Amino acid sequence: MVVIAPSPSPQSAAPVVGWDSEAFVVCGADRADLRERSLALAADVERHPGAPLAEIAARLAADLQPGGVRLAVVASSPTDLVAKLRRGADRVADPKCKQVRDTNGLYFFETPLATQGTLALLFPGEGAQYPGMLADLCGVFPEVEDAFSWCDRLAAESGRASLRAVLHPAPEDKAAAEIELRQLGPSIFGVLLADLAITRVLQNLQLPVSAVAGHSAGELAALLAAGAMDSTAMIGPSLIETTDLMQRLEDEAGGDVALLAVGAGRAAVEEVAANVARGGVVVAMDNCPHQSVAVGPTHLVAAVEAALLERGLVCERLPFRRPYHTPLFEPWMPQFRELFARIPFSAPHTPIYSCSTGRPFPPDPAAIRDLAVNHWVSPVEFTRMIETMYADGVRIFVEAGPRGNLSAFAEDVLRGRPCAVIPANVFRKSGPTQVNHMVAQLAAHHVPLNLAHLYAGRVADAGASGGRESPGELAAPHTGGLTSPARQDLPDPVMDGYFSVMEQFLDVQREVVEAFFTGHAANGHISVLPEFFPEPDTRHPTPDSAVEGLPFCFLGDAVQFEAGREAVFRRTLDLHEDLYVDDHTLGGRGVSRTDPRQNGLPVLPMTFSLEAMASAASALVPGKVVIALRDVRLFRWVPYENEPTTFEVRVSVASVNAETGVVEVKANVRDLGNSFVADAANKPSSEATVVLADRFPEPPEPQPFVLSDEAPCDATVEELRRNMFHGPLFQMLRSLDRYGKEGIEGTLEVQPRDGWFRSNPNPRTVIDPVLVDAAMHILGAWHLEQPDWSGRILLPIGMKSLEFFGPLPEVGSRLLVRGYNEEETARQARNGVELFDTQGRPWFRLSGAGYWRFYLPFGDTNFFGPKDQYFLSSRVTEAEASAASRCYFLDPPLDLQQPALRASGVRVSMTPTEQAAFLKVRGTEAEKSDWFFSRLVAKDAARALWNKGHASGTFPADMESEVRGNVVLCRQRAEPTGEAFPLAKFAVAKGRVAAFAATAERFGVGLVLVKKGDAEDALRLDAARLAAADALGVPAAELTATTGATPGGILVAHAGKKLRVQTARHKDVVIGTTVCEVEPA
């Protein structure tokens, strides 16, 4: 336990300028103890706000012991630390919380990965550079300053300007530095310099490294770090000589070759290439499931591109002529092989994985050299390499270089599996803060670290206790020089060789990698795969003060930011933090009497996507107001999951009107992967054009509102709420007044915003997404007034425009709202909304709002209705074999088989245990649907029969099922040992499901599809045999069936007796059921 002194220790050294945050690691024997210690520390900090944060962090580090459970916090102030400690304590106290991975600086892992596997370093290559990279680390880590000082000395000795002036330019030189960093020479040199500097920091932190790997040119860093490239004897051509050689090769390059960047993985591209080009087009780079580059003759690449575009994949032609990482580059290889022949290689002291084979390098030095040089004619197998490392036990990957590009690739490869991919440096955070985030995550995963290195020179006696925890049971693999903590003066042999190697290979894989990673060619700007990877290396690194702590409530951290041009923001979607989403649950609310908190699937409201895009545009173009969002398109749901996921907003300025001051910003929103929607990772979920101006336009005249067949509304506000899936936060409608063929009118009351987020009681919003969403509920009321409810479940797919004419209305304002029916077809509805301010003028106008009409059951069957009153499946009374039985049938609508809607169905009709079982189902989408719908229809049959003898209805989510074969036994979720529901059996045929519940000792159900031309009488006999076989447990082929005397009655002979089976034709199936009643002789 850390006890904070009332005043700073007089022995404390003055803090080094540049530390803008600290990493705090709290350890407890168990979760209860961890919570208590976190709250106690928060109370101590609150009592003594003047205590230096570095001293608190250092003392916590000194007390750290192996084992137990840990909460790691990154905080920049005492107030920030207290808030995060209390939030962390709250999360740890929740037994359902398995991990906390909040990029704002809060980390907890119930199952730390250091006990599950090993740690590896990943080294990036060219494309990771950015102006100012690691400049803020030079002042806090001497080893980083040493690396850049060595660069200065090297330049002075060669009579050239230091690259440091380009990497760390003065403000007035940033534009020129940006241009120079696009060239491959400074790119490779700078990135590998940064790789080495960060590696020195990791050495002094004493990471237990078990393996290393690099991407493309980053493989040089991996070879040097692992000792495989003995560079002390390496003396090669100068930088200028090498650049001249590579430029000559470029000038002499010819041939008809094209490069195509594709927004898909290797398998998809190779499948198309095999069919279209028959081996003439190959994949040169396989970075992750959503990025690859194909190379081949121009005419074949064109054919492959056309086929890929037909599949809806994003493609970008790269205007380069040299095919690195393919056999086509072989004519240029003699010069490379000559250069590599002069470099001594030796067996590595740490395993290295090859980006060419995806497997470890061989131990033989000659084989290592051959594999390294042939890297340039071999495809980049980054996906395979990460998969192999994971299979070999690596669970924690640390990117030992700038920016974090490889971390994004590796996360995409390993999505959904237990792993941690942690960049040591990112563009969006200061250097010291990202180091603290890295350290915090590693410590939370129980990786043994020398934390004392963080406080050297800042806290007196920081190293006295070592700050290094014993590795305990954790294996400590041999890492050679990688973990040597001693500071070394530069230059040294490794450094000399490191840069000698760099100087010889400055132009390796120039076009493919530079264009793919940076989005730029040497002679101009291109945009490569904007839908899948942000363009990195022309962005000015905006000071953190300009982008951190943005006041907008739904924006998050700036990943990339260039004021007035473009930006990328990321935010965590966290059920614990985002309270509003519990009031926006697809599938309904109040679905369990046992747990009133259980609702449908939490999904991001469309209006919060609009808020994110409007906020991002406002941050990109400050000083203006959002006056409209236009051409809004919604592609898919963004569901929330039990564990936090990442949400991203991308914005770029499309046009500027100098005369009017109006700016148009293109924006899109995406979630970076979820378990509900296959192949959704990193694809836009919505897009829009955001329009900003210096001031709001004057409110226009209201739209004409003349109603044909006008009448007072029959539906009430309460009825509307029961038939929607929105909770109290969104329930702003106060009256439904009048409606007609053209629309409907009512009033709403603007509600407070203090309940949207757990930690932000006063969120700043651009458009008030809850108010905009609530205003659109008036459209639901219009559909509720219609006599035909078929296809009246509507979910938004886009809108033409959403215009604003003034600042946000005051909380408590009572406003008039009107809904307009613009157009209606069998599959879509188009509507408009006007919300008026307190003066009767339009505040916002929504036009061309498109809604997709979902055809789900209604009447006695209602997907969105109260679950204890309605059923999803339909009763088939004519198929019931006795009065003490119930038969239900469902042909699941295609709409309900969509992954998100099916997931919402699971959430509202299954218990937590059943939900967990569903998530483990592996198979096709059809098999997942059969698993769910068979249980659901069986529950419907069982509870329908149960309800016959009980006064109140039963929620399917309160029925815990046990399935054996096709027999379903359900018990009360609240009383698992109490009275059971009647047994039910189900039969499935091509997705259709029939279920039969009965009180008889033996009973069965059969289901047969009706095909065109089939004789119904024969099908009834088949269904009867199947039902009897199900009841008796014998093969249907052993039974004979004849038509009985009653309608639908069939007699099935068995063991000298005739059993009664009831059959019925229902839609395109015949159902048979039996309770094994014997026909009298």
Yes or no: say if 1062 and 1079 are a contact pair by the CB < 8 Å rule.
no
How far apart are alpha carbons 100 and 484 in whole angstroms? 32
Q: What is the mean pLDDT of residues 28-33?
A: 95
Q: What's the burial of 7, exposed, middle or buried (CB within 10 Å: 0-12/13-18/19+)?
A: exposed
List C-alpha distances in Å: 430 to 24, 449, 543, 554, 591: 17, 21, 8, 21, 46
pLDDT value, residue 788: 64
Q: Which structural domains are found in the chain, ordered by start?
A: 1-110+429-471 (3.30.70.3290), 118-166+174-234+343-427 (3.40.366.10), 254-329 (3.30.70.250), 554-693 (3.10.129.10), 711-854 (3.10.129.120), 874-1074 (3.90.470.20)
pLDDT value, residue 332: 75
* Least confident span in 218-227, 523-532, 715-724: 523-532
In sign, the C-alpha dihedral spanning 708, 711, 714, 719 is positive
Closest CA relative to residue 820, chosen from 791, 790, 842: 842
The two beta strands, 118-123 and 209-214, are parallel
Confidence at 81, pLDDT banded by 50, 70, 90: very high
List C-alpha distances in Å: 436 to 20, 432, 924: 10, 6, 43
pLDDT at 327 over 80: yes
> What are the tokens at 552?
């907008």
> What are the tokens at 481?
């020089």
* Contact partners, residue 731, CB within 8 Å, separation at least 6: 721, 774
Yes or no: say if 389 and 211 are a contact pair by the CB < 8 Å rule.
yes
User: Is the pTM of the predicted complex or chain greater than 0.75?
Assistant: no
Backbone region of residue 67 per phi and psi (left: phi > 0; alpha: psi in -120 to 50; beta: other values): left
pLDDT at 219 over 50: yes
Beta-bridge partners for 271: none
Torsion (CA) 1009, 1015, 1016, 1018 in degrees, nearest 10? -90
How far apart are alpha carbons 270 and 510 in whole angstroms? 23
Confidence at 13, pLDDT banded by 50, 70, 90: very low
How far apart are alpha carbons 956 and 910 in whole angstroms? 7
The count of C-alpha atoms lying within 13 angstroms of the C-alpha of 535, restricted to the half-sphere facing its C-beta, is 20
> What are the tokens at 584?
């926006």
First to last CA, the chain: 85
pLDDT at 316 over 90: no
* Least confident span in 151-165, 785-799, 1046-1060: 785-799
Q: What is the pLDDT of residues 820-835, one digit of tens each?
A: 988 766 556 788 999 9
In sign, the C-alpha dihedral spanning 423, 426, 431, 437 is negative
Q: What is the mean pLDDT of residues 211-226?
A: 91
How far apart are alpha carbons 122 and 399 in whole angstroms? 5
pLDDT at 171 over 50: yes
How far apart are alpha carbons 152 and 793 in whole angstroms? 67
Name the more confident of 250 and 795.
Answer: 795
Q: What is the pLDDT of residues 452-480, one digit of tens each?
A: 999 998 987 665 444 555 443 323 333 33
Confidence at 682, pLDDT banded by 50, 70, 90: low
Closest CA relative to residue 210, chosen from 394, 400, 486, 471: 394
| 634 SS3 class | strand
Q: What is the largest CA-CA distance in the chain?
A: 113
pLDDT value, residue 558: 81
How far apart are alpha carbons 458 and 451 in whole angstroms? 13
- φ, ψ of residue 311 to 5 degrees: the values are -80, 0
